[in-house]
Amino acid sequence: MTDLDETTSLAADAAELGVDGPLPRVERVGVEVDGRLVSALRWGARPGVTLLHGAGLNAHTWDATLLALGEEALAVDLPGHGDSAWRDDFDYRPVTNAHAVAGLLDALGTGPQVVVGQSLGGLTAVALAAERPDLVRALVVVDASPGLRVGDARQVTEFLAGDQVFDSREQIVDNAIAAGIGSDRARITRGVAHNTRVRDDGKVVWKHHLAYPPKDVPGLPDITTPWSALTGTDVPVLLVRAAHGYLPDDVVAEFRERVPRATVVELETGHNVQEQDPAGLAAAIRALAAPER
């Protein structure tokens, strides 16, 4: 498995989805926010959808979903992930991430977006809607919610807490499948290629910072997000729950009670919905965004 450029893997994703026609134009863009690079993949010239990935992932996790969606979009590398800069203070809380995303959207002049966020990205999207409602015209939260506890995401925390230096990328793929992160080996292999680098000694390491926390801090950010960050806005909201994901029944019930305007759909996937059912997620996003056109 070798390194991939920004578009190498799109043909394989398109073939799996049955998407015909020319592949979309995808380019790497980035701006400095508070002196740190925030990087993203821009699909087309005028993005109307902004997508925020989960902990330990990167912008390429959305490739298949965006091929299925067929919309111009911006897939962001959250701070400390992908090509975005690491923070010396290891502060990757949703509200901190939201500040960086807002700076990126301001610099690119995107205007209000349908903001889609999965896991940590979902909580970041909620924080963005609270802090900068002018940038959010609709909100899609994927397998995340205020009220979610770190312990609910034990599958990811245990995966990130394991060995972080590997003999090969194939070893990481094997570990991911064993941990239940996904089951499509080819798709996971492409994701690992985008999310790792090979050191001079031949060892493989992650590109994201969460795998290498300072000794005096925990390996995952504080994901605490107040309900007021969501209930204090009036934008359309869609909660996408993964049937085999992390959201407990009590959190989903509280979501329905606190955000009665929200639509809740459930897809028969694990936590990484965007990789395991990209077509289903794209259809859900399209249904929410369509009334605004």
Contact of 251 with 150, CB cutoff 8 Å: no
- Concatenating the DSSP letter of every residue in 73-100 gives EEEE--TTSTTSPPPTT----HHHHHHH
Instruction: Residue 79: name the closest of 53, 105, 106, 61 by CA.
Output: 53
**Catalytic choice (39, 81, 271, 277):** 271
**Catalytic choice (9, 39, 84, 119):** 119
- Is 53 designated active site? no
- What angle (nearest 5°) sits at the alpha carbon of residue 174, between those of residues 12 and 212? 100
How far is 206 from 213, CA to CA, in rounded Å? Answer: 12
- Is 81 designated active site? no
How far is 112 from 289, CA to CA, in rounded Å? Answer: 12
How far is 35 from 209, CA to CA, in rounded Å? Answer: 17
- End-to-end CA distance of the chain: give it in Å, rounded: 42
Q: If 0-12 CB within 10 Å is exposed, 13-18 middle and 19+ buried, where does residue 290 land?
A: exposed
- Is 271 designated active site? yes
**Catalytic choice (77, 143, 152, 277):** 143
**Active centre residues (catalytic):** 119, 143, 271
